[in-house]
Amino acid sequence: MTDFSIDELADELSDFAAPVKGTGRSAREERIVAGFEDIQRFVDTHGRMPLHGEERDIFERLYAVRLDRLRTLDDARSLLMPLDRQGLLKESPPSAAEASDLSLDDLAAELDGVQVINDIRVLKHVNSREDRRVAEEIANRTLCEDFEKFQPLFERVSDDLAAGARETRPFTSEGSINIGDFFVLGGQFTYVAAKGDEIQSSNGQTNARLRVVYSNGTESNLLLRSLQRALEKDEAGRRVVDVSVPNLFSSEWDADDISSGTIYVLRSLSSHPYIVEHRELIHKIGVTGGSVEARIAHASREATYLLADVEVVATYKLAAINRTKLEALFHRIFAPAQLDLTIQDRFGKPVRPKEWFLVPLSVIDETVQRISDGSITNFIYDPSSATLMEIK
């Protein structure tokens, strides 16, 4: 419990006190009654007593401290009991473990910058302690040592936005945050790379520690609720979302149907040691409006095909869809498993092909089916287990 008296608290806040009306009470008694009425209004509004805790609004914390003190002062209790319509003074005084750690210095710091407009409860330009903590968490970034793993993801997001395959939408307080999500925060792309075990906060909300990577090559380790709060307070904070493309495939394929293209899945016949070792997992996924055979006829001379012949391991016919958006959708789904391999083209220039992924053929087939029935929006690809995982 704080060690200042109600008189000292009243003196500290005297500049904020409302004008005293003539009631026959002393100035001290008027301040005590006015302070108690503030607490009563809080209880009327929120349906509960004010609570301690750094996550609480400064005035709720102030009311909690004030109520604790009023319960311990006999003269204040005698004065206020006839006015205590809510039974606030009947509670037992808090134990030392339950008491607030708010000191007068803390209170002064919290109230620094307050502009009073007729009412002590009206604040301007004041950040709560929670807001300051969130800002510090967001600002406390370190260099992302393995940023080369994430840079292609940011490039893909930028390309998708330009192509119309993704779009940004305002972030709402109800919005979920999961691994693989992209946001715009502080003018930078923000990627949720990892999420720890969920924990239960004191207010009943679930929380979790996140690894968040930013497009400028930095990262931070912050709480999910901190990221959520930062996105809500950033006027330009946005969620990057997939654009749903319903009915990508016809339910039946007839001879008279007009094909708009073919999804093709290729496997490289390169002798590169890494490709030889992982040949069954490394696939190129593309979409073409023409013949697949014609597309790959000169594969051994093109860096995009790893300067080697390829074999076609699967094809899927398409009808009346945007081929560019569909290809971008596949690459976006499997972006976490993009092959990180640089080769030299015929002129000795280093090239890093973008359309090759470490994904089992069975997962590609499942992805095609889920795109077809629209359920893909509930799944993400998990490279660690090489499976599609349902978002919960």
- Span 196-212, pLDDT tens digits: 887 776 666 778 889 99
| Residues in the chain, overall count | 392
Of all helices (H) and strands (E), which one includes residue 288?
strand 282-288
Please state, for a pLDDT cut of 70, what percent of the chain lies above it.
72
84-89 long-range contacts, Cβ below 8 Å, gap at least 24? 84/36, 85/40, 86/40, 86/43, 88/36, 88/39, 88/40, 88/43, 88/49
Domain ranges of the chain: 6-126, 131-242, 259-390
Residues 370-392 as b/e (b if ≥16 CB within 10 A, e otherwise) read: bbeeeebeebbbeeeeeebeeee
- Span 265-285, pLDDT tens digits: 999 999 988 899 999 999 999
Average pLDDT, stretch 386-392? 79
Residue with the bigger pLDDT between 254 and 89: it is: 89
Residue with the bigger pLDDT between 108 and 75: it is: 75
Query: Angle at CA 214, nearest 5°, toward 210 and 218?
Result: 90
Average pLDDT, stretch 110-122? 42
Decide if pLDDT at 41 tops 50: yes
Provide the whole-model pTM: 0.41
- Span 330-358, pLDDT tens digits: 888 888 888 888 887 777 778 788 789 99
